[in-house]
Structure formats: C-alpha cells, structure tokens
Amino acid sequence: MTLEFRAAQIADATSIAALHAGSWLVPRDEYSPGPILDERKAVWHERLSAPPANQFVVVAEEDRRFAAFVCAYGADDSRWGTLLDNLHVRSAWQGRGLGRSLMARAADWCIAKYPESGLYLSVLEQNKRARAFYERLGATDGGGETWVPPGFIDAPSRRYAWERYQVAMIRGLAGDGTD
Ligand SMILES: CC(C)(COP(=O)(O)OP(=O)(O)OC[C@H]1O[C@@H](n2cnc3c(N)ncnc32)[C@H](O)[C@@H]1OP(=O)(O)O)[C@@H](O)C(=O)NCCC(=O)NCCS
C-alpha cells in the first residue's frame, strides 16, 4: 500500500466535492444529495481552477485511490488567523491516522507561510468524533457559534482554535505525518 500526499489539482474537484457533500449528508438522511453535490462541485471547480493566493489544498491517496483532503486559507481572520476550512477522510480510511497526517501538513504550511497566525475552524456541535479529534490535537474549544452550511437550516457549531504559538503543537501531537 502506497500512501501519497500531494497538492490538489483541478482533476480532483469531483472527488473532493463528492466526499465533502457526503460528509455533510451523513447526519441528514432525508436530504436529497443532488443540490448539495452540484453546489460543492461548482465550489471546488472554482477553488481549484482559480485558487486564491492563500489557499492550501492537499489530497491523500492510497494506491492512487482518493482517500482524504484538507483545505485551509492563510491569515483569513485578523483575530483567529488561518482558517482550516475542510478536513474529510473517506469512511473506509477513517481511524488510520490520515486525519492526523493531513493536520500535520496543514500545520507545517501554516507555520512556514503564516507564522504570525493561529489556526481555527468551525465544527458542527453534533459531530462528536471530529470534536474529539481536534481536542486530541490540542485545539481549544472557543465556544458556540452558528454556522449555516448549504442544506442546513440551523446548525449549532463550535469554534476550535490554536493560538499562533500552539500551531507547532499540532505537528508534535500528530506525529511525523507520514504514517
Ligand atoms: C474527523 C476526521 C477528519 C478524523 O480523521 P481520521 O483519519 O479518522 O483520524 P485519525 O485516524 O488521524 O485519528 C487521530 C486521532 O483522533 C482521535 N480520534 C479519532 N476518532 C476518534 C473517535 N471516534 N473518538 C475519539 N477520538 C478519536 C484519536 O485520538 C486519534 O488518535 P490516536 O491515533 O492516538 O488514537 C475523520 O473522521 C472524518 O473525515 N470525519 C468525517 C468528516 C468530518 O467530520 N470532518 C471534520 C469536519 S470539521
């Protein structure tokens, strides 16, 4: 089994959109996948064909099969710093360290390119697994907020954050990012 991490390309837009939409739909069995998938495809096509200068998107593949991706925006917020916008691992690959490896890569990029920035993200309050994952990597629960992803009417969420001086801790807690 060969695990590979590489910068996302435009050809990855459909795989990324399908995984992204699928993750959102898991807690919402009744929601039709069509509109949300189309919306995500358009978003990812745009993001990867005309990437903003502060965009970071890395995909993980095992034996050339798409397994996971991470997306971040450098120095996105004057208080909280770099936004970890997306981190998704396909279900068959979950619990095998891919999330940690991608977090390690995002932290390395953040430290190299935006050393004055912390790192932050929003996660749905009901997503206990992801919250435990971020806590395991040293994030501080910064409290409740309201986030409205497409297809959700009311989505209570939490903000998790690492201050600038804590970003290096992610790398330490995530391991060397090559497992
Ligand atoms: C959350 C997610 C990114 C984690 O990625 P992953 O590859 O499954 O996680 P890893 O295998 O790297 O686990 C890293 C650590 O997280 C913790 N963790 C993972 N799953 C956990 C769970 N169910 N409960 C508690 N801790 C958990 C473990 O402590 C693990 O550390 P360990 O290896 O020392 O035990 C992944 O499960 C996922 O994509 N979920 C669906 C999409 C999603 O919710 N994304 C986040 C949106 S904000």
Cα(163)–Cα(160) distance, integer angstroms: 10
Ligand 1 pocket member 127 (CB < 6 A): yes
Ligand 1 pocket member 90 (CB < 6 A): no
Q: How far is the CA of 2 from the centre of ligand 1 (A)?
A: 21
Q: Whose CA is nearest to atom 10 of ligand 1?
A: 97
The total domain count for the chain is: 1
Ligand 1 pocket member 55 (CB < 6 A): no
Supply the pLDDT for residue 136. Answer: 96
Identify the residue whose tokens are 């695990």.
Answer: 3
Q: Is residue 28 assigned to a domain?
A: yes
In 3-state terms, what secondary structure has residue 49? Answer: helix
> The CATH number of the domain where 15 resides is what?
3.40.630.30
Q: Is residue 179 assigned to a domain?
A: no
- The residue among 100, 152, 144, 149 whose CA lies nearest residue 125 is 144
Mutate to test the pocket of ligand 1, among 102, 129, 145, 158 (most ligand atoms within 8 A of CB): 129
Predicted TM-score (pTM) of this structure:
0.91
Token digits of residue 78: 């004057």
Ligand 1 pocket member 128 (CB < 6 A): no
Q: Is residue 40 assigned to a domain?
A: yes
Identify the residue whose tokens are 């120095």.
Answer: 75
Supply the pLDDT for residue 152. Answer: 63
Find the domain containing 39 and state its range: 3-174
Q: Is residue 96 assigned to a domain?
A: yes
Ligand 1 pocket member 98 (CB < 6 A): yes
Mutate to test the pocket of ligand 1, among 20, 100, 101, 133 (most ligand atoms within 8 A of CB): 133
Q: Is residue 156 assigned to a domain?
A: yes
**Please, are residues 76 and 53 in contact by the beta-carbon 8 Å criterion?**
no
DSSP annotation of 130 reads H
Cα(82)–Cα(99) distance, integer angstroms: 18
**Please, are residues 125 and 156 in contact by the beta-carbon 8 Å criterion?**
yes
- Sheet of 119-124: strands edge to edge? 3-7, 55-62, 65-77, 81-89, 119-124, 156-162, 140-146
Supply the pLDDT for residue 132. Answer: 97
Ligand 1 pocket member 147 (CB < 6 A): no
Q: Average pLDDT by consecutive 10-residue portion of the chain (179 residues)? A: 94 97 68 75 97 98 96 97 97 96 97 97 92 97 80 80 96 71
Supply the pLDDT for residue 165. Answer: 96
Ligand 1 pocket member 92 (CB < 6 A): no
Q: How far is the CA of 94 from the centre of ligand 1 (A)?
A: 7
What are the residues facing 68 on neighbouring strands?
Answer: 60, 89
Supply the pLDDT for residue 31. Answer: 54
